[in-house]
Structure 1
Amino acid sequence: MELALVIVVVAFALGFDYTNGFHDAANAIATSVSTRALTPRAALIMAAVFNLVGALLGTHVATTIAHDIIQIGDVGSHEGLVIVLSALIGAITWNLITWWFGLPSSSTHALIGGLAGVGVASSITVHWDAILEKVVLPMVISPLVGFGLAYGVMVGVLWLVRKASPAPAQRRFRIAQTASAAAMALGHGLQDAQKTMGVIVLALVAGGFHDGDSIPLWVKLAAATAISLGTYSGGWRIMRTLGRKIIELDPARGFVAESVSAVVLYVNAYWLHAPVSTTHTITSAIMGVGATKRLSAVRWGVAKSIGAAWVLTIPAAALVGAVVYLVLRTFV
């Protein structure tokens, strides 16, 4: 019975990873597609490949998800597996809702919200201090850093190319966007695929099939493959929001937004071990480069809707996860 439940949980975890891929595919490629630096299909293939590579480059974020959000060892194996499954269903549900409305919300915070909500509903230990330090503070700080850094870098770039001919300069930036989009996709794999690895390890530990902090190779490969397939399947609704509705991007601004976002993701993954949102980071960077035109160039009404989705993500996923848990514990 426990083995069958572990298999179900792993399947749902990979399903979440797949939805994460198509939900967040726009993070890496919307700017490149909107500026015509890459065709949509070429951009998706490149993003899928670099998602795969990025997912295999580290495990720090996976360890944070597996050990620092909830204390799964407080309950028996069956109960622990139901808890993890409920959290995943909560996260997947919110991903699908925001994808349907084309809102670039955070799959990261959907997952963490689901875990926290189920933790409260099941009365197990929730590490609120870790959630504050590694989730809430980065959720606030990363977009601010992304906005400010993108604005500053963009001002510097505009100064450097102030005497260049516009058409040749834009062509060079369009070529450079291939590299910046690849860097962004690598950062997305480094951050988001690791979160699924952490959840699978959480399920394996709960079921008694794994112990310790190590991430099995098959877990890394499965999570990397699932997010890559999800990325390749697209995410056109959200891509339109990021690429066109916030601001009309040019190649120079697209290059800077992607480059800044990639740096923020790498720093958080390798040095801070914080599961930050790739969605929040790239969206705020797009706003930052857009503000260098003029503040009114950013469509703040769209930004307000995105901000509302950000604020709602953790509590909404927590509520869904808690309700699912209360239902599942009766029947599973």
Structure 2
Amino acid sequence: MVVVLVCICAFAFLNGFRDASNSVAVAVRNKALTPSIAVLVAAFFTFVGTMLSTSFGVYLISTVELALPNGTHGLTLLLSGLLAGGAWGLLCWWRGLPMSSTHSLVAGLAGASGASALMGDETMHGAWRMLAGGVLLPLLITPLLAFALSYLLVIPATWMMRHSSSSDVNGISRAGQSIAACAVALGHGMQDGQRTGAMLTLALVTAGAAHPDGIMLGPQLVGALCLSAGVLFGGWRIAHTIAYRLVSMDPLRGMVAQSVSAVMLFVGAMLIHLPISTTQAVTSSIVGAGSNQPFESVMWLHVRRVLRHWLATPVVCVLAGGTLFLAMHPLLS
């Protein structure tokens, strides 16, 4: 149990470390925020977002009925998924590629559950349903929706600023982008922070150390601290990719992209209870807003490279989670 809890906290730290770029990359590129201020406000609002919302943790465990077998077998399933998702996340970070930590985790859990079924053991109830509804469906919808909304909203935004000077447009846009960056960090906490608390709760319940009712505050607090600490130490490899390698854009389009991302995260967390990938929402919004310019500004070669890794994430993590569980299975007997 202790090993699993430590791995969940490490995964949350890595999640924040990688996803810090989502809220700060374009804001820093457009000089709306300085790098030091950007990571500080991102860490603060990520913590606040995690603590504001506990409903998704209940949704993940109860409504989707994601449940583990009790004891060591269930903890091994959880550990296999965490290690698979974490390893893929580290590889993508090293290569400077944004990817979804949620998708890698859920896919790893589904792979471990499938390997357990192959061995004739108990499985993680709800893992494959979560893979379909929490990974594959958002993988198809989130990038397309974020791209389309950002592309279309650039039109009224530029029309409203048509009589303003370029300095006024940039000044207003930078101010709006600063607010939108804080909103993205808040939405990131509401999405990913809740899942960290849910995983901690799930591990405690599986080990028999706690009851699923009435213990949400402690795991949420630990999850918020780990996720915010990761954001505070934010990894700039991915930030460089998002801000410089995908698209060149002005502050106005950066404001539009960040605003669309924040709204999608809020809607996903509070209204439809769907795990929206912060990485996919932000990256797709940036490409969408940047595409709506009178000159070619999108580096499609890098965009296609990112898309290939998004599509590869479920496959790789399912296989890795299953392989890790099979490797650890002899230790269970």
Which TM-score band (shorter chain)? over 0.9
State the shift of 1:71 in Å. 3.4
Counterpart Cα distance in 1 of 2:112 and 2:294: 44
TM superposition score normalised by structure 1: 0.94
**Equivalent residue letter for 2:67:** Q
Superposed CA deviations along residues 158-217 of structure 1, whole A, max 9, x for unmatched, are 011011101121012112211110000000011011111111111112111223355522
State the shift of 1:254 in Å. 1.1
SS at match of 1:52: helix
Point out 4+ residue stretches in structure 1 off by more than 6 angstroms: none
1:207-246 superposed matches below 5 A: 207-212=207-212, 214-246=214-246
Alignment match, 1:3: none
Contact 2:20–2:234 (Cα < 8 Å) also in 1: yes
Query: Does the alignment pair 1:105 with 2:119?
Result: no
**Equivalent residue letter for 2:260:** V
Query: Does the alignment pair 1:71 with 2:67?
Result: yes
Superposed CA deviations along residues 220-276 of structure 1, whole A, max 9, x for unmatched, are 111000010000101100000111111112111111111110000000111111111
**Equivalent residue letter for 1:94:** W
Which of residues 16, 30, 34 in structure 1 aligns to 2:29? 34
Q: How many pairs does the alignment contain?
A: 325
1:92-171 superposed matches below 5 A: 92-123=86-117, 124=123, 125-171=125-171
SS at match of 2:75: helix
Alignment match, 2:189: 189
Gaps of 5+ in 2: 118-122
Bigger drift between 98-107 and 250-259 goes to 250-259
Superposed CA deviations along residues 93-131 of structure 1, whole A, max 9, x for unmatched, are 011000000000110101111111111011214453443
Alignment match, 1:253: 253
State the shift of 1:299 in Å. 1.0
Counterpart Cα distance in 2 of 1:142 and 1:119: 26
1:300-311 superposed matches below 5 A: 300-311=300-311
Structure 1 residues 213 and 94: alpha-carbon distance in aligned structure 2, compared to 1, 3 A threshold? farther
Q: Percent identical across equivalent pairs?
A: 37
Counterpart Cα distance in 2 of 1:129 and 1:53: 30
1:255-270 superposed matches below 5 A: 255-270=255-270
Bigger drift between 144-153 and 42-51 goes to 144-153
Counterpart Cα distance in 2 of 1:56 and 1:127: 25
**Equivalent residue letter for 1:23:** R
Bigger drift between 99-108 and 124-133 goes to 124-133
Structure 1 residues 296 and 215: alpha-carbon distance in aligned structure 2, compared to 1, 3 A threshold? farther
